[in-house]
Chain A
Amino acid sequence: MKKNMNKNYFEVLRPGINSTFQDNGRNNFYHIGIPFSGAMDNRNFLLANTISNNGINNPVLEFAYQGPKLKYIGENISINVTGDVNFKIIRKNKNLEFSCYENIVLENNDCLDILSTNRSVYGYLSIGGTFEVDYYLNSCSTNTKAKIGANSGEKLEKGQIIQLKNIKKILPKNKIEYLNPKIENIRIIKGPHFDYFSKDAIDLFFSNEFNVTKLSDRMGIRLKGPKISNIKNTNIKSEGLVKGVIQITADGDPIIMLSDHGTIGGYPKIAVVISADYDKLVQIPPGSKIKFKEINLKDAETIFKLYEMETQNLISNIK
């Protein structure tokens, strides 16, 4: 990208570990092998765009663990960060501290340094304006496996320029009081291959804690714990997956499918994480422990309604 194509832009001084542009994701392409993608933590994505007075599908910059360090060039702009994130703005050699979930003003030559997510994984940067990004199949969501979406399907890279457009006048604070919940119990519904596992294996699955390993990313979370032994077959004829599906590999370890998951898979599906727990699940960092709890479909639907109401409540309480 050429410099100074536009008068408002970020220069990437440090890209961070896994910084990608995301929106609501892509519908209706599983059948050709393209996953949903989109922001991992949908609630924090929604809050970011709401605070920016943006449309709910506006692109945001998602980061994981360590975020990017960005130098801003341009007219004053409102920005906000959501998630449980530690960040600062460096203005004329002074470090300024700010909170998440409120608009702050970035000035010409400011440096936004997103240091880390606290005991969580993902955070979001939204702007009062729009990141100028490429769209592919109705979404800008970057999928680094298929190399599609914003930034030619790649993570942010050092030195690159992020052009901004439609810069809004400075926005009100739009502050939201929100504490990201930290959970260890993940609620699940039985999967179609529940009977592939012995009574003992099922007991182990529900009574033990599992460790979230480092082999976790936007595609999935790999767990380590007691081996879940299979009494029928460790493989099935490959079939469709959805996010939240828990497969048990031939080695007896659970893998939870996340937003960039392969669209079909050949391991038995022991369970599926309920929709209401998905945002919390993706925020559990490696090194943590999780435990599964079974509930029925009716309860899962009710809990999801409550979760949605809670999100709407947060939005209506913007000050």
Chain B
Amino acid sequence: MIKNISNLGDAALYCDFGTEVNKAINRNVINYFNNLRDSNFLGITNITPSYNKLVISFDLKITSFTKLKKQVENLELKKKNNSKNNLIKIPVCCTEEFALDIKRLQKLLKINEAKIYETFFSKNYYCYMTGFIAGMPFLGDMDKSLFAKRLETPRVKVPKNSIGITEQFCNIYTFESPGGWNIIGKTPVDIFDNKKNTEPNLINPGDTISFYPISKLEYEKKYE
């Protein structure tokens, strides 16, 4: 449940679901998100779910903080579970030219390359949220043995489609972008397709992701 609703400026609600990062809290956030999307509350312009918060922005010409807060507090939750809980399989090529930080990780984690990948590919990951840049999924949780800090100095340009890990999370850079996550490979699949006018993003909050390794040859084939 929402613990507290406060105002984020004069045109947004800041809904607090707790301070921890875990699936139970995040499922709650996404459940509210899905129900709000189906609601007909006037004036809502955007709803942004994250680990444990939900930000609802609105048009101040149409509604107000007090009015919308009351509606959200009285919202009847209809969908009990996230019905679109898809499993999406993402191929990853881990050849040296794509795995920019694998050497650093071996030193940092004191595990060899083979073991890092074996551990990484053995788990399913949950999508807590997407955003920052278009379509970028924030996935968790990593196995504890792979928890690694961000780079001290972030890269100015992380190549598009790179897979990065940091702490308990991994993500996919949907565009070339600055970033400080440890890069362990690259996928030939476009996670965000800016040619598609409906559902341009492959991964949505609440989805489950599994990664599987492919060779350079398969990577190149998929790109054709």
Which residues in A have some Cβ–Cβ distance to B below 8 Å?
27-34, 36, 136-137, 145-148, 153, 189, 191-192, 237-242, 244-245, 262-265, 269, 272-275, 297, 300-301, 304, 308
Contacts and interface: CB of A to CB of B under 8 A. Distances in A.
Interface of B: 6-12, 14, 16, 19, 21, 33, 44-55, 57, 60-61, 64-65, 129-136, 138, 174-175, 192, 194, 197, 200-201, 204-205
B134 A34 contact: yes
Nearest to B64: A301
Given A33-B132, A36-B46, A263-B48, A239 B53 contact: yes
A31 B52 contact: no
Contacts of B136: 33
Given A242-B55, A272-B8, A146 B134 contact: yes
B134 A145 contact: yes
Given A238-B138, A308-B61, A264 B129 contact: yes
Contacts of B57: 30, 242
A304 B201 CA distance: 35
Given A239-B51, A240-B54, A264-B50, A33 B10 contact: no
Contacts of A245: 8-9
A269 B7 CA distance: 12
Contacts of A274: 9-10
A80 to B, nearest CB: 24
B45 A189 contact: no
Contact of A240 (B10, B55, B192): B55
Nearest to A263: B131
Given A30-B55, A33-B201, A242-B57, 13 more contacts: A28-B47, A31-B48, A31-B130, A31-B205, A33-B192, A145-B134, A189-B10, A192-B6, A237-B52, A239-B53, A262-B131, A300-B9, A304-B60
A142 to B, nearest CB: 12
B133 A147 contact: no
A148 B194 contact: yes
A238 B11 contact: no
Contacts of A136: 194, 197
Contacts of A301: 10, 60, 64-65
